[in-house]
């Protein structure tokens, strides 16, 4: 069957929308062949049953086989939470001392099984950025750590886990986002990393992932001055064609990150960015939010192809790769009975437990026991969105989990950015043991100040770092536990560690 140029251009575009059901215009575009894929967010998900109905509606409307993608990395970035099986994230998996590759493959496999059971055939995971910079707001526990070889091995394991279970994996953010302190949702970062440095570090995970059969790569909206001083990787022929296609020999699908992120949207008009991405040999161009920008992208890309500004040969090559991806990862009938099973939850719990790391221990403080006469106070800083990639705040049942094990413990929740007056309330409790549960306090000046102040209390202090392990450096002395993420299983096992149900055996994959 010959596909029209209008439909071939449509296959290169992917869109998102608001709501739990697809709007009429999205369904119309799918029927007309104007879209090749749909990206889902937490805003599109209420329950497994609702999601199954939504993906069925989308697949049935589409003129061609459809890609449905989602950021289901596990850990901090997961769109499927309530009613689905939550998992520890990448850095937690990297902290598992023994068999971390097997654990990563297993965890990714469980996530893929649940996605595939609900009509989703593409996940934007794993994140293979190397964690160079503690100040990076958008990588953190999404990374497998700071050692390129370990990141590479675990990236390959994640790819195997996702893809063996029917979901295309996506290594991101090419060629590497870990060494910036700026969030591309808000800013356009510039890095001076040389090509030689990239080859020695950031490109290693891509080589390993490709060797494991990697299906897709996502580019970063970051300028690499040594490679292309004018355009970010997403729009750079020098980076996509030279590095991904020629040097790495990757012939799978290359996708943009969302083109409505400010790193692109504040600097390039849609009419320019969509054309430059196509000419850079990007296959799928992603507009996640705005109907007007989605329509403009289609109209301008089609016009550019018709007038010869984008060679039709590039469109044809992209369509061949997209068709191969869809054929490789077909969807099956939805089956919500495969979601949130006891076996899946048990797998996640065991991995989260193996990841907990005891960085430092003060003699005689842990474990906390129900029969203990000491007064225990658990102070938790509320979850906050550190980067827009998180989209929503994590659930925080930490106090509930703690009370289940230690009924006499008192609990207090402080804002993510507390005032000195709010922190001063802690002194009124006069605890013997103070557990401080932080969430990236090192990125938040007010939370950092609060930890410093609370660390000077007369109580025995336990710092429980629920997100980045870099918070461990904020406390001098005392006891420090790291969960490497605050998904539900990670919070649950944090409490189990505090009361001595197991001995933490994790090993941090970054320097603190």
Q: Is 223 helix (H, G, I), strand (E, B) or coil?
A: strand
Q: Is 174 helix (H, G, I), strand (E, B) or coil?
A: strand
Instruction: Pick the catalytic residue from 129, 257, 386, 486.
Output: 257
Q: Where are the beta strands (DSSP E) in 278-419?
A: 284-287, 357-360, 376-381, 410-414
Contacts of 428 (CB under 8 A, 6+ apart): none
Burial (Cβ within 10 Å: 0-12, 13-18, ≥19) of residue 360: middle
Alpha carbons 348 and 452: distance in angstroms, whole number = 33
Is position 408 annotated as part of the catalytic site?
no
Is position 53 annotated as part of the catalytic site?
no
Instruction: Pick the catalytic residue from 116, 173, 185, 399.
Output: 185
Contacts of 197 (CB under 8 A, 6+ apart): none
Supply 233's token pair: 């990787």
Q: Is 83 helix (H, G, I), strand (E, B) or coil?
A: coil
Q: What is the CA radius of gyration of the chain?
A: 23
Is the C-alpha dihedral spanning 40, 42, 43, 44 positive or negative? positive
Nearest one of 123, 191, 194 to 162, comparing CA atoms: 123
Alpha carbons 279 and 302: distance in angstroms, whole number = 13
Nearest one of 465, 120, 61, 460 to 473, comparing CA atoms: 465
CB neighbour burial string for 159-190, b if at least 16 within 10 angstroms, e if fewer: bbbbbebbbbbbbbbbbbbbbbebbbbebbbe
Tell me the catalytic residues.
Answer: 185, 257
């Amino acid at each position: 069957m010959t596909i029209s140029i209008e439909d071939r251009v449509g296959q290169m575009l992917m869109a998102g929308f608001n709501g739990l059901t697809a709007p009429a215009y999205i369904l119309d575009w799918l029927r007309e062949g104007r879209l090749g894929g749909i990206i889902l967010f937490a805003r599109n998900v209420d329950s497994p049953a609702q999601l199954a109905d939504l993906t069925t509606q989308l697949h049935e409307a589409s003129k061609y086989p459809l890609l449905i993608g989602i950021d289901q990395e596990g850990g901090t970035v997961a769109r499927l939470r309530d009613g689905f099986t939550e998992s520890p994230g990448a850095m937690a998996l990297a902290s598992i001392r023994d068999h971390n590759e097997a654990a990563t493959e297993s965890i990714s496999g469980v996530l893929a099984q649940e996605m595939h059971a609900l009509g989703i055939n593409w996940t934007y995971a794993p994140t293979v950025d190397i964690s160079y910079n503690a100040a990076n707001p958008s990588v953190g526990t999404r990374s497998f750590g700071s050692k390129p070889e370990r990141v590479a091995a675990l990236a390959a394991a994640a790819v195997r886990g996702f893809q063996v279970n029917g979901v295309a994996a996506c290594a991101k953010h090419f060629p590497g986002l870990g060494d910036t302190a700026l969030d591309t949702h808000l800013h356009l970062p510039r890095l001076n990393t040389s090509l030689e440095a990239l080859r020695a570090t950031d490109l290693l995970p891509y080589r390993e992932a490709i060797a494991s059969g990697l299906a897709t790569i996502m580019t970063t909206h970051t300028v690499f001055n040594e490679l292309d001083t004018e355009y970010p990787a997403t729009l750079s022929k020098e980076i996509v064609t030279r590095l991904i296609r020629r040097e790495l020999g990757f012939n799978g699908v290359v996708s943009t990150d969302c083109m409505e992120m400010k790193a692109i949207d504040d600097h390039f008009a849609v009419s320019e960015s969509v054309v430059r991405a196509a000419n850079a040999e990007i296959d799928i161009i992603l507009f996640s939010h705005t109907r007007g920008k989605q329509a403009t992208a289609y109209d301008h890309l089609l016009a550019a192809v018709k007038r010869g500004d984008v060679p039709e040969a590039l469109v044809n090559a992209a369509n061949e790769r997209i068709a191969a991806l869809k054929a490789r990862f077909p969807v099956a009938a939805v089956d919500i009975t495969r979601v949130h099973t006891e076996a899946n939850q048990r797998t996640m719990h065991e991995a989260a437990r193996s990841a907990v790391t005891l960085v430092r221990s003060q003699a005689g403080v842990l474990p906390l026991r129900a029969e203990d006469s000491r007064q225990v106070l658990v102070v938790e800083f509320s979850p906050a969105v550190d980067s827009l990639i998180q989209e929503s705040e994590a659930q925080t049942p930490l106090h509930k989990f703690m009370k289940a094990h230690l009924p006499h413990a008192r609990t207090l929740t402080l804002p993510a950015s507390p005032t000195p007056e709010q922190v001063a309330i802690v002194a009124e409790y006069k605890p013997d043991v103070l557990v401080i549960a932080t969430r990236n306090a090192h990125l938040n000046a007010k939370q950092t100040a609060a930890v410093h102040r609370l660390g000077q209390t007369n109580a025995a202090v336990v710092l429980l770092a629920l997100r980045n392990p870099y918070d461990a450096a904020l406390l001098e002395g005392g006891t420090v536990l790291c969960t490497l993420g605050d998904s539900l299983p990670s919070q649950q096992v944090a409490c189990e560690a505090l009361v001595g149900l197991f001995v933490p055996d994790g090993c941090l994959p970054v320097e603190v």
